[in-house]
Structure 1
Amino acid sequence: MKNVIVFGASNSKNSINQQLAEYAASKLSDAKITTIDLNDYEMPIYSLDREGASGIPQLAKDFDAMMATADGFIVSFAEYNGVYSTAFKNIFDWVSRVDGNVWKDKPVIFMATSPGERGGITVLEIAAGRMPYHGAMVVGTFSLASFGDNFKDGAIVNDDLNKELTKLVNKFHKELLEA
């Protein structure tokens, strides 16, 4: 059984991106789903000076080790001022110092959602363009605009969007099996 790590790239306790990532993962019937909370990996803000003085935090090493156990990833990015959340960016910066291949050359679905009409598309484009340089084999991306209108009771209620996500998850599943 393939292990898929799932998270919303946010530190919000009520993250809509966490909800979307978990919903996408629920469409995988024969995978072990490991859901993580970025709050469990809170570290000092990355800097070369801090790394030089104190080394790489154990939490960064733990996060990297956990990533190495995955066969694939489903991640939904929160968009803060057009870019990644600080919580994600800080973890990413630290983990990239452990091993520059953060995503371990594994299949990934990148998603984003927001209450607005653009659905986090800017951060999604940034992630899809940047993360392959760190080992992400991007299977595809999915943006869910107007979260409050399109996601209710733990599911996407817009049939077209739900079909689009299901198609992407099926493609991801095929990549997992071939990896």
Structure 2
Amino acid sequence: MKKILAFAGSNSSTSINQQLLDHIVGRIQGHQIKELRLTDYPLPIYSQDIEKNEGIPLNSTIIKNLIMESDALVVAVNEHNGGPSAFFKNIIDWLSRANRNFLEGKMILLVSTSPGKRGAKSSLEYVKNIFGRFGGQVIESFSLPSFKDNFQDGRLTNEVLDMGIEDVLTTFAHQIES
């Protein structure tokens, strides 16, 4: 049984990426899963001056330690204007300052969604690339397009997309178990 840490990069109380994450986490069986709400760990906007004068914020260290204690991650990536939200990017900035390789040895499943047809693919690709720089290994990724058309009442309504998520989850589970 592996320890999986799951979180969404959104600070919205009505986040569709959080809804997708909840659905995906509910489908993972046989592992210990901890869902983390990043909004419970507020951080100042990254600044070299803050880092120099005050050090790394405690909440950044707490998040980093939770990541280090896990074997794998499931991360839902939101998108604002083609990139990850400033909220999520700020967390990544602080984590990388606390430990440049804060994702070292972590196997990662990335998921994203948006109201549009691209399903936050630009942000997903950005995060996939940057997580590799910090030592993470993105095993699988999945982008759900047109959230409101394909997801209702906590579940996927599009059978083809549902099969796609199942394939991604199967591959992810096999990789983290080996």
**Structure 1 length normalisation: TM-score?**
0.96
Contact between 1:42 and 1:87, CA under 8 Å: does it hold in 2? no
Q: Tell whether 2:8 aligns with 1:27.
A: no
What does residue 117 of structure 2 align with? 117
CA distance in 1, matches of 2:157, 2:102: 33
SS state at 1:140 partner: strand
Contact between 1:67 and 1:104, CA under 8 Å: does it hold in 2? no
Aligned-residue offset at 1:27: 1.6
CA distance in 1, matches of 2:66, 2:146: 32
What does residue 70 of structure 1 align with? 70
What does residue 149 of structure 2 align with? 149
Q: Tell whether 2:69 aligns with 1:57.
A: no
Q: What code does the residue aligned with 1:105 have?
A: G
Q: What code does the residue aligned with 2:40 have?
A: D
CA distance in 2, matches of 1:157, 1:73: 25
Identity %: 36
Q: What code does the residue aligned with 2:152 have?
A: K
4+ residue stretches of structure 1 with deviation over 6 A? Answer: none
Matched length: 178
Q: What code does the residue aligned with 2:119 have?
A: G
What does residue 139 of structure 2 align with? 139
RMSD, aligned CA: 1.0
CA distance in 2, matches of 1:148, 1:64: 33
Aligned-residue offset at 1:49: 1.2
Q: What code does the residue aligned with 1:4 have?
A: I
Aligned-residue offset at 1:102: 2.2
Contact between 1:7 and 1:76, CA under 8 Å: does it hold in 2? yes
What does residue 5 of structure 1 align with? 5
**Please, which runs of 5 or more residues in structure 1 have no aligned partner?**
none
**Please, which runs of 5 or more residues in structure 2 have no aligned partner?**
none
CA distance in 2, matches of 1:80, 1:56: 26
Contact between 1:76 and 1:110, CA under 8 Å: does it hold in 2? yes
- Deviation by residue 1:9-42 (Cα, 9 ceiling, x = unmatched): 1001111101111211222110111111111121
- Deviation by residue 1:98-131 (Cα, 9 ceiling, x = unmatched): 1111223211011110011111011011111221
CA distance in 1, matches of 2:57, 2:137: 27
What does residue 85 of structure 1 align with? 85
**Matches for 1:168-179 after TM superposition, within 5 Å:** 168-178=168-178
